Structure formats: C-alpha cells, structure tokens
Amino acid sequence: MKKACVLIVDDEPDMLETCANVLGSENLDVRTEPSAAAAARRLGDERFDLLITDITMPEMNGMELLERVRSASPETVVIMLTAFPTVETAVDSVKQGAFDYITKPFTPDQLRVAVSRALAHRRLKEENVLLSREVERTARFDALIGRSPKMRAVFKLIEQVSSSDSDVLILGESGTGKELIARSLHTRGRRRENRLVPVDCGAIPDNLLENELSGHERGAFTGAQTSSLGLLDLAHRGTLFLDEICELPASLQAKLLRVLQERQFRRVGGRDLIDVDIQVIAATNRDIETEVREKRFREDLFYRVNVVRIEVPPLRERAEDVPLLAAHFLERYAKKWGNSDRPSGSRTLHGCVRSIEKDAMEVLCRYSWPGNVRELQNVIQRAMVVCRSDQIAVADLPAEVFESGTPSSTPGGFFAFRNTRLAAFEGDYLRELLTRHTGDVAMAAEEARLPRGTLYRLLKKHGLRPESFRN
C-alpha cells in the first residue's frame, strides 16, 4: 500500500524535527518546510495527503497557506498548530477548511491520534467519491438508483415492457419511486415524443375528477361558458399515469373501464364518443387484490390494468442500496447548496457536507425506513442542514433513526445478539457518564458529543434518572 504523504510546515526547527521523528515512525512519507512561502511553492508542484502547519509564521502565516491549499489542492486534509490558542482562531481555522486544530505544546500521542483521524477522514472522502462514481456508472437506471437483486429485476422488467404499448400496474409502498418507474417506462417507450400526463387520483375531489379526466362541453354545468379539454385529450398518443388508482370512486371506475376497453370517452355534458390513443400506467400503494376481494375496487378494472405488473421493493428489503442512495442525495444537495442556495438554518461551518461517517452509515443501513426512499432523502437533507463539519455523524441523524435497532423481523442470530450487547453497552456507558458528571446532563452530553435531547431520550430508554446520580 502506498504511504500517505505528509508535509509539515513550521518556522521552529525543533518543532519540525520533533513532528518528523514522531510521524516518521508511523509508516508515513514525511516532508518538511521551514516557511509557509516555501510550502506554498511546493504545494503547487506536489500533492500531499495531509498538511500540518503552524499558524504564526513570518512573511506568510498558516491561515494564508490554508487558503492557498484549499484552492490548489482541496483534497489535502489540513491540521493547524498554534502556541497562542484562542476561540476565534480555532473557529476561523475550521471555517476556512482545516480538519483539526492542535495547541502547542502537545504530546507525541496527541499528534499521532490527530494525524490518524485526519488520514482516516481523507480515505473516507475518497471512498465517497468512488461510491458516487459507482452510482453513476453501474447503479443508475434513468432516475432510479439501485444495485440490489430486486431492483435489478425491476430494471430488467422496465426494459422488457417499454418496447410494448401494454398497460402497466405498478405496486409499491409510498415513497418507493413508483412515479419514477412510470417516467422511465414512458421515456424508453414508443410514445416518448409525446406527453406523460400524471393524474393523482387521491388529490382531486371526486366531484371534479371526471371533469379533469374527460373535459366538458359548453353549458355542461353552471359556469361552463366554454368547452374544455381533459387530461385524456392531453395524453392522446402519449401515456396516462394514474397514480393511486385505488382512490377512484366506484362511479369513475366503471367509466375508466370503458375508456380502457374501447379507447373512447365522452366529455361531461357531451354526446359524441371521442377516440383516444393512450398507454395507461396505474400505480397504488394499497394491496389491490384485497381491495378487489372487499369490493372496493372493480375486479374487471383490476384485470384490465394488471396486464403487466411491476412490484417495487421497499427500501428495508434492499438495504444494500442505502449507501448508493445516500451518496446520490449527498451529491445532489452539495451541488445545490454549493451554489449559495443553502437553507438559512444550516450550521455547517465550511463548505458543503461531502461524506458520511462509517458509524452513521451503519445506522442508516440498519434503520427500517417506513417512508422508504423519500424518507432517506429527507433524512440526508436534514443531516446536511444541522451538520457542523463536512461529514455527517451519528449525532446529526434524527432521533428515530439513531435510536432504532435492527427490524424485529430478524429473529436471533448475529443482529439480535449485537443489539443485546449494544443495549447493555449503552446502559453501562450512560450510568458511568452520569456518575462522572454527578447527573449534570449538559456536561454529560458535551462529553458524549450528543445533542442534549438525544441523551435525554437514551436515558429514558434505559430508565435512568439524572437526579438519582446527584448525591
């Protein structure tokens, strides 16, 4: 494995020698420079994994060098050194893009730990970049993302179906991407040059839905002073996407059945039948066969739309796709907010969030995602808003995600044993934490690096009361 290359910059020869000796024994390729100006010239010609620089130096100081390296080599991780620590200097360093800040004098172990964390951070950023590229190259199917066997089966079925004009029924929970599948079918099909007309059957009032679909003739009802085209007209020679088709009232189900059988419809208030050339794609998040058995959905209409069925797996059944989707949403919002379109509530100190810590990713993969891909998108967006660095940590995740365990559908085995051990660890850790701080939750939360609200929820989960540790 190639050694990580480290550049140390300090105008004190003893400090340079000390740092070089400590890190030279850690299987690192260490270079040194006695001034920021010399380091800046070197950084123009060479690439370093890590830069360690003093802040206070003559001619050019460490903050100016930091600004140059962030511009010339943004992948280089930076640790700042100073013998004159202030809160303002620390905050400014982080704002400018430094990964860490060490106060002189420091011990060899403090330096080793800081360097180890910085290089691990750099490796994780590289892995996220590679993961993003992998998403683009092998796991993207139109606007759909996934590499799990179940999603590959969906992609294959879309390819097979899109070459025909068959009506399609898409089944899946809310948030799984049914509309994206409908759009993929349309853009890959013969009708892609014409419109895809989406209709949310649950969002339009029942008394207006027929008029929306079929249009009306002049004088059909009070206020109808002119004729109006309907969505069926707009979908002519294209695709009609009926989202949440199970929400259709019984009267409209009968009329829709006739449209699908005859490819004809009659406007509200009209007498003439109008021919329409459409492909129909229907979708629902309900168990449509149960709806048929319980007489809430017409059996003949079900068989009419159920020519080709595509079942979209929920996210909990394809956990291997979570890292791919998370990387996709990270990249999307990083691009959006990198163009100064950041939400006003964001507390990120420097740049956009670029990666997710390993522990946080494990939590995301373990969560059951009742809201599916849409919920994951919202969680990543929220985490990027509250994150204080360029990496999403466990503490940046919502409490319901952070505190969740492995789904109860996984009995026994590794996960159940791990959850039991984790729960025991949590309880022991929290008791020791409260004991050390004599029940002071604010100080305990600071040491644990957890939001105070999250700590309170964990204490409640384990039945621990802070006041019982105050004596």
| 280, pLDDT greater than 90 | yes
Residue-averaged pLDDT of the chain: 84
Among 70-79, 131-140, 312-321, the minimum mean pLDDT is found in 131-140
Per-residue pLDDT averaged across 423-431, rounded? 81
- The region of weakest confidence among 8-17, 91-100, 171-180, 411-420 is 411-420
User: Quick check: 122 pLDDT over 70?
Assistant: yes
Q: What is the pLDDT of residue 405?
A: 47
* pLDDT(330) > 70: yes
- Check whether 138 has a pLDDT greater than 60: no
DSSP secondary structure letters along 42-94 = HHHH---SEEEEES--SSS-HHHHHHHHHHH-TTSEEEEEESS--HHHHHHHH
What percent of the residues of the chain are helix, what percent strand, and what percent coil, each to the nearest 5? 50, 15, 35
Query: Do the Cβ atoms of 176 and 312 come closer than 8 Å?
Result: yes
Of the segments 131-140, 370-379, 402-411, which one has the largest average pLDDT value? 370-379
At residue 406 the predicted structure's pLDDT band, cuts being 50, 70 and 90, is very low
Q: What strand order describes the sheet that includes 278-284?
A: 196-200, 238-243, 278-284, 168-171, 308-311
For 287, 315, 340, 466, the CA distances from 244, given in Å and listed in that order, are: 11, 19, 37, 49
Q: Which of 144-148, 206-210, 244-248 has the lowest mean pLDDT?
A: 206-210
Token pair, residue 470, equals: 């105050």
pLDDT computed for residue 471 by the predictor? 66
Rounded to a whole number of angstroms, the distance between the first and last alpha carbons of the chain is 54
Nearest C-alpha neighbor of 30 from the set 121, 125, 115: 115
pLDDT band at residue 287 using 50, 70 and 90 as cut-offs: very high
Q: Which of 33, 70, 75, 72 is nearest to 53 (CA)?
A: 33
Q: Which two tokens stand for residue 446?
A: 């600071």
Crossing angle of helices 149-161 and 178-188, rounded to 10°: 40
- Determine phi and psi for 176, rounding to 5 degrees: -90, -10
Angle (deg, nearest 10), helices 87-96 and 62-72: 20
Please identify which residue in the block is written with the tokens 């390729």. 29
Q: Do 14 and 22 meet the contact criterion of CB atoms below 8 Å apart?
A: no
Q: Residue 347 has what pLDDT? A: 45
